[in-house]
C-alpha cells in the first residue's frame, strides 16, 4: 500500500464507505450478542456470570488494546491495520460459533475483542485525515448514522437466529461484512504513516489491571468482598492500573499519551464519554436481559423493542453532527445525556404484567433521541481537539474510555440489581443508569467549550 494520503476529490467517499463498513462489524457484534445472552446462558450454563463474561471478555481486550491499536494505526497505516483486524475478527467469530463450553466462548470473545480493537480507531482516524472543518463533523455524523444501522440489523437478526435456529449463527454472520469490507479495500491508498514505538509493557499492564479488577467486580456478587478470590485479584488489578498510569507518564513512547489530556475538550469529552457510555452499556444490557428473563419476551421481541435507538441514530445523527459543526458541541453534549437519563427515569414505571407501549416505549423514544443528540457532537469534539497527527491515538483513547466504562458498569450489574434482573432489579439498574447520564450532562455543561471555527477547506 502506498503511504500517501487519499486525494480529496477521488478517494474521500470511498474512504468513508470503508470506514463505515470496517466499524460496522464491531457494532453489529455488540448489538447482536445482547439479545442472545439468555439463550447462551441456558445452553452453556453459568447463569448471569456467563452472560456478563460473554460481554466483558470482548470489552476487556477491546478496551485495553484499542490504545495500542491507535499506535499501530499511526505506525503501519490505517488500511493495513484494518486488514489485520478484519481477518482476525472473522476467524474469532467462527471460533465463537463453534464454542462448546462457557470458557471456550469467553476466550474466543476475548480474541474477537483484540481484533475489534484494530477496527474502530483506524476507521475514525481515516475520516479525520480525509476531511476538514465542518465537513469533518458531517462525515462523522454520517459514519455514526450508518454504523448505527448495525444496531438496527443486529437485534432483529439476532432474535430471528436465536428463536428460529441457534445462537451460534449470531457469530457466524460476521463473516459476510468482513469479506465485503476486505473486497472494497482492494486498491485503496493508505494514509501517511508516523513510525512510533509500541508500548507492549503498557498493554500488558492495562490487560492485567482491567482483567483483575473486572473479575473481582463480577465474582464478588457470588463470593463476597472478603473472599481471597475476590480481594486479591482486585488489589492486583488496581496495582497494575496504577503502574500503567505511572508508566504512561514516564515512557518516551506511551500508548496513551497523557499529554493529550491537556486539550480541554479532549479531557472533558472523555469524562463525558466515561459517564455516558458506562450508563449506556449498563442500561441496554439490563433492558435486553430483563425483558426476556423478567418479563418473558422472546429473543425476537427483545430485538424489536430496541429498534427506536438505532432508528433515531440513523435519522438524526448527521443532522446533529451538522448542528455541532455550526454551533459547537457543548449544548448537544449537555442536552443529550440529560434526555437519555429522563428516558430511563420513565422506565421506572415497569410492573407486572409488562405493557411495552405504556411502560417502556415512551422512555425508549426519549432515550433514543438523547443518544442521537449526543453521539456525533461528542465524537467530533473529542477528535477535533487534537492535531491531525494524533487522530489515531486520540480515537483509540476515546474508544478505550467508552469500552472500559461499559466493562466496569456491566461488571457491577449484579451489585446494582441485587443479583437478579427481575422487576425490582431492573428498576434499581434504570435509576443508576439515569444518575450516570445526569453526571455526564453536568460534566459537559461545566467542561466543554466551543472551539474556534475551523476555516480550512472542506
pLDDT cut 90: percent of the chain above it: 21
Give the Cα separation of 138 and 12 in Å (integer). Answer: 13
pLDDT of 338 higher than 90: yes
For residue 62, the model assigns a pLDDT of 79
Query: What pLDDT does residue 441 have?
Result: 94
Grid cell 455541532 in the structure block, residue:
324
DSSP states along 399-423: HHHHHHHHHHHHHTHHHHHTS--SH
User: Is the predicted pLDDT of residue 196 greater than 70, yes or no?
Assistant: no
Check: CB of residue 24 under 8 Å from CB of residue 275.
Answer: no
For the structural domain made of 12-189+255-447, what CATH number should be given? 1.20.1250.20
81 and 432 Cβ atoms separated by less than 8 Å: no
Q: What is the mean pLDDT of residues 24-34?
A: 78
Q: Residue 388: which of 329, 436, 456 has the closest Cα?
A: 456
Asked if 15 contacts 126 with a C-beta cutoff of 8 angstroms, the reply is yes
What average pLDDT does range 346-362 have in this prediction? 91
Q: Using CB atoms within 10 A of its CB, is residue 4 exposed (0-12), middle (13-18) or buried (19+)?
A: exposed
35-52: pLDDT as tens digits: 888 888 888 877 777 888
> Would you state the pLDDT for residue 11?
67
Which of 62-71, 267-276, 328-337 has the weakest average pLDDT?
Answer: 62-71
Nearest to 442 by CA among 272, 280, 274, 282: 272
Beta strand spans in 220-328 (E): none
Q: Label residue 430 by pLDDT band (50, 70, 90).
A: very high
Is the pTM here over 0.85, yes or no?
A: no
Amino acid at each position: 500500500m502506498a503511504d500517501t494520503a487519499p486525494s480529496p476529490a477521488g478517494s474521500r467517499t470511498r474512504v468513508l464507505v470503508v470506514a463505515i463498513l470496517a466499524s460496522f462489524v464491531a457494532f453489529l457484534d455488540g448489538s447482536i450478542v445482547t439479545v442472545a445472552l439468555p439463550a447462551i446462558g441456558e445452553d452453556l450454563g453459568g447463569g448471569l456470570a456467563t452472560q456478563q463474561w460473554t460481554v466483558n471478555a470482548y470489552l476487556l481486550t477491546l478496551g485495553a488494546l484499542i490504545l495500542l491499536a491507535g499506535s499501530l494505526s499511526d505506525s503501519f497505516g490505517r488500511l493495513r491495520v484494518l486488514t489485520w483486524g478484519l481477518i482476525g475478527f472473522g476467524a474469532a467469530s467462527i471460533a465463537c460459533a463453534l464454542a462448546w463450553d462457557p470458557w471456550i466462548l469467553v476466550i474466543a470473545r476475548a480474541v474477537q475483542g483484540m481484533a475489534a480493537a484494530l477496527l474502530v480507531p483506524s476507521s475514525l482516524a481515516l475520516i479525520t485525515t480525509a476531511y476538514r472543518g465542518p465537513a469533518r463533523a458531517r462525515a462523522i455524523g454520517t459514519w455514526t448514522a450508518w454504523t448505527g444501522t448495525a444496531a438496527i440489523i443486529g437485534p432483529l437478526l439476532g432474535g430471528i437466529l436465536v428463536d428460529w435456529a441457534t445462537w451460534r449463527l449470531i457469530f457466524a454472520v460476521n463473516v459476510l461484512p468482513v469479506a465485503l469490507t476486505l473486497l472494497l479495500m482492494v486498491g485503496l491508498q493508505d494514509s501517511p504513516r508516523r513510525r512510533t514505538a509500541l508500548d507492549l509493557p503498557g498493554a500488558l499492564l492495562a490487560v492485567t489491571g482491567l482483567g483483575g479488577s473486572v473479575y473481582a467486580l463480577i465474582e464478588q456478587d457470588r463470593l463476597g468482598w472478603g473472599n481471597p478470590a475476590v480481594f486479591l485479584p482486585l488489589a492486583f488489578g488496581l496495582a497494575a492500573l496504577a503502574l500503567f498510569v505511572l508508566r504512561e507518564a514516564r515512557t518516551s513512547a506511551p500508548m496513551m499519551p497523557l499529554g493529550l489530556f491537556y486539550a480541554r475538550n479532549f479531557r472533558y469529552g472523555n469524562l463525558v464519554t466515561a459517564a455516558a457510555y458506562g450508563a449506556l452499556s449498563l442500561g441496554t444490557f439490563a433492558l435486553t436481559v430483563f425483558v426476556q428473563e423478567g418479563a418473558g419476551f422472546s429473543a425476537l421481541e427483545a430485538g424489536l423493542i430496541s429498534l427506536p435507538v438505532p432508528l433515531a441514530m440513523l435519522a438524526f445523527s448527521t443532522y446533529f453532527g451538522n448542528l455541532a459543526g455550526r454551533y459547537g458541541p457543548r449544548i448537544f453534549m449537555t442536552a443529550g445525556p440529560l434526555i437519555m437519563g429522563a428516558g430511563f427515569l420513565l422506565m421506572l414505571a415497569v410492573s407486572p404484567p409488562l405493557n411495552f407501549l405504556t411502560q417502556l416505549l415512551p422512555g425508549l423514544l426519549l432515550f433514543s433521541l438523547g443518544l442521537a443528540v449526543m453521539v456525533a457532537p461528542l465524537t467530533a469534539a473529542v477528535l477535533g481537539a487534537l492535531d491531525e497527527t494524533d487522530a489515531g491515538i486520540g480515537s483509540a483513547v476515546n474508544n478505550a474510555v467508552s469500552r472500559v466504562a461499559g466493562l466496569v458498569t456491566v461488571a457491577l450489574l449484579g451489585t446494582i440489581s441485587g443479583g437478579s434482573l427481575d422487576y425490582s432489579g431492573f428498576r434499581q439498574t434504570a435509576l443508576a443508569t439515569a444518575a450516570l447520564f445526569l453526571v455526564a450532562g453536568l460534566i459537559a455543561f461545566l467542561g466543554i467549550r466551543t472551539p474556534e471555527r475551523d476555516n480550512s477547506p472542506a
